[in-house]
Structure 1
């Protein structure tokens, strides 16, 4: 479904953010991308949809090589890649409904986009998505009136209304409290399962990654140093990814989160 082949990003300073990363993501698989700050996680996600231009290598989305596309063709292909941002990237003065419908801007003509006059089927789908994430009653509220968790749910709806084949998720829980973080991760994984969506989730919280996904990719200095199931993240492997730390506490936190999840 998605294949990265020797994907490399070198900045003008000579620093290599990614070093020949090769990775296959099958249809419907949700992957957590972990690693220390500066490991290349956000760069990897942004190189896939070319918000950051790779230096070399290729990104294949099904049969399309994204790295060779001209701007117009790239804009069309980006419609197939929903993006969920750490800082939500909502337009504060617009309503929840208007922010969700902005995910359809790549599909409507210029004048419809300018006047925000969307087809009824798009409006109906926006209502359905807001209902699914528990925000139907807030459709007419401005985005600046929402909590962090509510804003992230709006961002999820905006990505899903694109009808994407792939979700790229950049630190979706970084600004959220622990309970809301679990709710958002659970929601993303549930929606991916319902739609058969593949997703790559850049996440800083190892325990959340272990709790919610079946495959974890560990990056260090722009290279993949772990690719496997969450229970393979032993203290030794986490030390290889992050450096020295008391990882027993992190591993115990997964069991504690399971207990909290059952009680919620």
Structure 2
């Protein structure tokens, strides 16, 4: 379980990005963070793995309080937190296989990491993951030869090969077309279900979040203003999160997608 207890982030400018956020996220639950730009979504994700240092509060991953760890302990605990980035964060000149195996760098010694010599079990797992996401045939291709959706799948494999306890996902569909966005969201949710992983997904597309996740957290000005199921996002709730807007089109889009999925099934 991942638990946030009164998490606060205040920048030197005095801007408060997070205001006493409290969340409990059980194993296997996929949660979407929604809210306007500047609401604190990316800050929250980065405070969990301390890429951004919280000002106060606690972050617990299982029985470990992450906010009090020394740098060496934090490096070890970060292996349990897989990160998936909006801009993929791949090394363009490396192959797909090499990018996936980079997720194991925290587990191997210095010389092994320098020469990229990984245990055979890691290589086998990388092949298995690439097969699972439909990229086995591209293992030897350079990352700069891939499409956006393919790059994101490599990023997913790189995160999963860490054998994490939680996935932190920062706008995974922002650079993708609608069809590929649905495929990536579906894949993340399926993989979390298969592995019993908790996941927090920062996402701007409300309709996409409603189609796939089990729980939605709405942030506004660093505070949680909604915590509940996707179908609880009424026009009034969406207005509370984002401000005035005609939300009926978004709700109709979700209903249409649900009907389309039922028809395909």
TM-score, normalized by length of structure 1? 0.99
What does the per-residue CA deviation read over 1:158-208, in whole Å, with 9 as the maximum and x for residues that have no partner?
000000000000000000000000000000000000000000000100001
Q: Please state whether the residue corresponding to 2:59 is helix, strand or coil.
A: strand
Q: Please state whether the residue corresponding to 1:82 is helix, strand or coil.
A: strand
Give the Cα–Cα distance (whole angstroms) in 2 for the partners of residues 259 and 179 of structure 1: 16
**Residue 125 of structure 1: aligned partner:** 125
TM-score, normalized by length of structure 2? 0.98
Q: Note the 1:158-237 alignment, pairs <5 A.
A: 158-237=158-237
Pairing 1:22–2:22 present: yes
Query: How far off is 1:259 after superposition?
Result: 4.0
What does the per-residue CA deviation read over 1:43-93, in whole Å, with 9 as the maximum and x for residues that have no partner?
000000000000000001111110000100000000000000000000000
**Residue 54 of structure 2: aligned partner:** 54
**How many residues of Structure 1 are paired with residues of Structure 2 in the alignment?**
264
Q: Please state whether the residue corresponding to 2:126 is helix, strand or coil.
A: helix
**Residue 40 of structure 2: aligned partner:** 40
Q: Please state whether the residue corresponding to 2:107 is helix, strand or coil.
A: coil
The answer for unaligned runs of 5 or more in structure 1 is none
Query: How far off is 1:228 after superposition?
Result: 0.2
Give the Cα–Cα distance (whole angstroms) in 1 for the partners of residues 77 and 66 of structure 2: 8
The answer for unaligned runs of 5 or more in structure 2 is none
Which segments of structure 1 move beyond 3 Å, counting only runs of 4 or more? 259-264
Q: Please state whether the residue corresponding to 2:38 is helix, strand or coil.
A: coil
